[in-house]
Structure 1
Amino acid sequence: MTDTGNTQNEPIQAQHDQPDDAKVAGILVQQEADLAGQDEAKILDALRQRFADAGLSISDDNLSGHAKRIAGLEPNSFSQK
């Protein structure tokens, strides 16, 4: 059998690109679960890092608003760790 050059050269996720708004929503849901009720500055740093890692540009005003909202949420079993 000869090699036909059909190899997977990219992560499988690359086949299912999500729109940016879906990526933003996913990051926010995860950060809410992980950081609810924690210090607003810590949340803001985490949000900046997560959005940078995802290659998404979000305004500082938007990030600050989300950080404040997440800090005001009731802590849960994930965010208390």
Structure 2
Amino acid sequence: MSENTQDEPSMAQHDTTDAARLAGVVDQTRADVGGKDADAVEHVLRERLAQTGIELPDADVHDIAGRLSRGERWTPAQTSS
């Protein structure tokens, strides 16, 4: 083994915080389905949260979906968790 070889898996260069991951999911959901019916937005949001392993209380998911369906912005500070 040389000092210049990578003999083990590399670690992620930039760890993403849960808040940043959540913000990314919300931003992408807003871009894709924002302004649509709240139930449709909530369905997409729940799917994406599950895909990324982010768990939120139902009330927060419902609140975020409502905001996005009304075309409002959302920030991680607006969750109860």
Q: Aligned residue for 1:27?
A: 25
Deviations 1:39-73 (A, max 9, x none): 11111111111111111101110000011111111
Runs of 5+ consecutive residues of structure 1 not aligned to the other structure: 75-81
- Which is bigger in relative contact order (C-alpha 8 A, separation at least 6)? 1
State the TM-score, normalizing by the size of structure 1.
0.71
Tell me how far apart the structure 2 counterparts of residues 36 and 23 of structure 1 sit (CA, whole Å): 18
Matching of residues 44-59 of structure 1 within 5 Å: 44-59=42-57
Q: Does 1:40 align with 2:38?
A: yes
Tell me how far apart the structure 2 counterparts of residues 7 and 33 of structure 1 sit (CA, whole Å): 41
Task: Give the RMSD, CA atoms, in angstroms.
Answer: 2.4
Tell me how far apart the structure 2 counterparts of residues 60 and 72 of structure 1 sit (CA, whole Å): 18
SS, match of residue 25 in structure 2: helix
Between the aligned residues of both structures, percent identity stands at: 32
Runs of 4+ in 1 over 3 A off after TM superposition: 5-10
